[in-house]
Amino acid sequence: MKKDLFKHKPLTAYDAIYEAQKIAYAPLVFQAVRAMRELGILTQLDEYKSGVSAKDIAEKLKLSLYAVETLLESGLSSGVVEIDEYEMYHLSKTGVYLLHDEMTRINMDYNHYICYQGMYHLDEACKTEKPAGLRVFGEQWQTLYQALPHLPEKIKKSWYAFDHFYSDSAYPVALPIIFQSRPKTIMDIGANVGKFSILAAKYDSDVRITMVDLHDQLQNAVDNVSEAGLTDHIDSLAMDLLDRAQSFPKGIDVFWLSQFLSCFGKQEIVSILQRIADAMGDNDRLYILETCWDRQQHEASAYSLINTSLYFTAIASGNSKMYHSDELIDCIKQAGLQVCQIHDNIGICHSLFECGNSESE
Amino acid sequence: MKKDLFKHKPLTAYDAIYEAQKIAYAPLVFQAVRAMRELGILTQLDEYKSGVSAKDIAEKLKLSLYAVETLLESGLSSGVVEIDEYEMYHLSKTGVYLLHDEMTRINMDYNHYICYQGMYHLDEACKTEKPAGLRVFGEQWQTLYQALPHLPEKIKKSWYAFDHFYSDSAYPVALPIIFQSRPKTIMDIGANVGKFSILAAKYDSDVRITMVDLHDQLQNAVDNVSEAGLTDHIDSLAMDLLDRAQSFPKGIDVFWLSQFLSCFGKQEIVSILQRIADAMGDNDRLYILETCWDRQQHEASAYSLINTSLYFTAIASGNSKMYHSDELIDCIKQAGLQVCQIHDNIGICHSLFECGNSESE
């Protein structure tokens, strides 16, 4: 635990019961704000800086006055909109972020399309250590990663937007660190759609990269590599790392794990890292890019990460999360590796763990 | 608008973006708190006032350490639990209310079982003025009130618990007011399960009561009256008030509408009130018991009511809400009635509107 996080002020009994109601009504408030964003009400408020009436918004957007008033009143209660003495509505500062801030928009879409419905089954997921909420996307999947390529476009899009928004900000900062040792070969484990591999191949045209992922996932990555004209630099290897019999080839200079270990439980993480350690020579490096809630500059980031863990519990895997850095370091050590250096503040919220084979040190 | 409600403090940009994330993650936080309550984690924290470790909670409740830690970390972020320097967890004051306060528990159950899943379709409901979220309970219903008697027990129970919790606190305060004029006949419109009629018949054994509701709803009320041995005092009349051809008999001293008008749109309300006005003689009275968010003593009550409106939009009717008192008064006047007196602070959060036929004044 990072001691200075989430130090809440002491509350009066009245304030505490009010806070409890805010939690009790939280899903309704979320959907009211989202509806105002989707229906264009927040945009209307943003356009009329000097205020606009509910009636004018309703007419402009061809919505009923009833619907507009009901949503605006909820928005008043949640501090997203404000009202002046002439009964004209305004967008609050919080509302401005909900409307314009890309991160907030992506978080909200993700929590609606990917998380909202399945989260209904969170208590069951906690009891069974299975992603019980995943069934809202079909009964046939064991993990979200199997389901992902087969989900409806809008849902899939919100997943990739979320995943890429955070990694896109981190990769340009991570690349110079990784390439300091001038690796000739990189294995991109959990390559997803191939974003990192493509960037790395462009960063250094001498490097040879192998993308590793589930068979169904990999197809998309291979297509993207082909489209980027990088098939001579990047190849692929289908592996299911939950199968402990699957091992890595030797002779890889750099193993790269980006936003990958958060998809696995601790025992699985140790098993994956052990297999990487087995393949690593004295001078080879393992780089782990993760978002650890205890290493954030701002409490708001820690808040978002800690609650994204619930997505892993209910939807993605049933047994993984956004780990505290101490937990990751513990897994790294258990696998016989050691952390050489931790680079914080990579992009918006990442930390880069540089690891070596401890026997070699 | 009541001017002193929801006056939020000016926020810094950082605070505003944090508030925006709290809204973006609101459904996940709700489910994490609910899971902690359902799985017994809040109770464990409450039992060990000097603190308890995640490991001890997990062992006691036969849950994985992973699940307990993930939920507790979310609880830290939302101020429901606290952690001390020895990494022992405690229940916060907000957590105490979430665990022990009956109102908070009932609100949370209602928002989970009745509202959560259907609220996913709030934006569609706003566009169509239909309760688009009701389809999660079956495609065949036009309003929640038709569906209610046929819903699974747990869901139905959470609806009645919510409905009764608030009305139970109001009826004992309302009865002496209604019986001041010693009415001989009362029509209980929207009788629901007959709670008010039974209380009123017990309050004054000389009064004759007619319960009015939808046919399917009424069966339950009739059974309850029979069980209470009050069939000689209370009869019933099946009516669908959305059918404007259905009129009320004359010769009723008191018309009683409890938590009923919030189920209808304003045009429907005016139509219902007009038909009551047509049946009312000079000295007859109409009593309307409603929860108006602008007439609350505490902002927390206004917050809960304003956001309960979203339930009416997405689940119940598509066109009704917890009205502002000005809106109700406007409907009453449009129907040719007048408000003689408003009694506030009836029970937890009700106002009682005493109305007469304006021609008689």
- For residue B359, the model assigns a pLDDT of 56
Per-residue pLDDT tens over the stretch B39-49: 999 999 999 99
The DSSP secondary-structure symbol of A297 reads S
CA distance A250 to A252: 6
Block residue for tokens 């190849």 = A235
Task: Return d(Cα A268, Cα A278) in angstroms, integer.
Answer: 15
The pLDDT, as a whole number, for residue B2 is 61
| Interface contacts A/B by beta carbons within 8 Å | 277
Under the banding of pLDDT at 50, 70 and 90, the label for residue A90 is very high
Closest-CA residue to B186 (of B274, B272, B256, B287): B256
Look up residue A180 and give its amino acid.
Q
Residue A125 clears pLDDT 90, i.e. is over it? yes
Q: Which of B26, B83, B298 sits opposite A26 (nearest CB)?
A: B26
Residue A2 has a pLDDT of 61
Question: What does the pLDDT read at residue A120?
Answer: 98
Q: What is the pLDDT of residue A4?
A: 78
Q: Which of A126, A268, A327 to mutate to test the interface with B (most CBs of B within 10 A)?
A: A126
| Shortest CA distance from A84: residue in chain B | B3
* A14, A28 Cβ separation under 8 angstroms: no
Q: In this complex, is the C-beta atom of A64 within 8 Å of any C-beta atom belonging to chain B?
A: yes
Q: Residue type at B35?
A: A
β-pairing verdict for B254-258 and B185-189: parallel
Helix residue ranges per DSSP H, chain A: 13-24, 26-38, 41-47, 54-61, 65-78, 93-100, 102-110, 122-128, 144-147, 153-178, 195-203, 215-227, 266-279, 299-311, 325-334
List the single residue in B6, B29, B313 with the smallest CB-CB distance to A26.
B29
Structure-token pair, residue A76:
């008043």
Q: Looking at the predicted structure, is the pLDDT value of residue A193 above 50?
A: yes
A53 to chain B, any CB pair closer than 8 A? The answer is: no
Residue-wise pLDDT for A211-233, tens only, equals 999 998 899 999 999 999 999 99
Cβ–Cβ of A29/B307 closer than 8 Å? yes
β strands within chain B, DSSP E? 81-83, 89-91, 185-189, 208-213, 234-238, 254-258, 285-290, 337-346, 350-357
Question: A13-52: per-residue pLDDT in tens?
Answer: 999 999 999 999 999 999 999 999 999 999 999 999 999 9
Q: Which amino acid is at A301?
A: S
Please state the rounded mean pLDDT for residues A132-151: 94
Residue ranges in chain B whose pLDDT is less than 50:
360-361
- Tell me, yes or no, if B52 comes closer than 8 A to chain A by beta carbon: no
- The contacts of residue B249 (CB under 8 Å, 6+ apart) are B279
Whole-angstrom distance, CA of residue B300 vs CA of residue A15:
9
3-class SS of residue B360: helix
Amino acid, res. B277: A
A165, A106 contact by CB (below 8 A):
yes
Instruction: Give the H or E element holding residue A211.
Output: strand A208-213
Kindly state the average pLDDT of the residues A114-129.
98
Rounded to an integer, what distance in angstroms lies between the CA atom of residue A130 and that of residue A133? 9
Give Cα separations from B348 to B6, B159, B160, B300, B305 (angstroms): 20, 18, 17, 12, 12
Residue B96: list chain A partners with CB under 8 A.
16
Residue of B nearest to A293 (CA): B73
Q: How far, in Å, CA of A292 to CA of A90, rounded?
A: 37
Residue ranges and CATH numbers for the domains of chain A are 13-100 (1.10.10.10), 113-360 (3.40.50.150)
**For residues B143, B310, B354 and B166, what is the CA-based torsion angle, rounded to 10 degrees?**
90
Residue A54 has pLDDT above 60, yes or no: yes
Flag whether residue B108 sits within 8 Å of chain A, measured between CB atoms: yes
Of A20, A63, A83, which is closest to B94 when you measure between CB atoms?
A20
Q: Is A173 on the interface with B (CB under 8 A)?
A: no
Q: Is A67 on the interface with B (CB under 8 A)?
A: yes
Amino acid residing at A287? Y
At residue B8, the pLDDT reads 83
Helix locations, B64-194, DSSP H: 65-78, 93-100, 102-110, 122-128, 144-147, 153-178
Residue A361's pLDDT is: 44
Report the C-alpha dihedral over residues A284, A286, A287, A288, rounded to 10 degrees: 180
Using the Cβ of B9 and the Cβ atoms of chain A, whether some distance falls under 8 Å is answered with: no
Q: Which one, of A89, A107, A65, lies nearest residue A291 by Cα?
A: A107
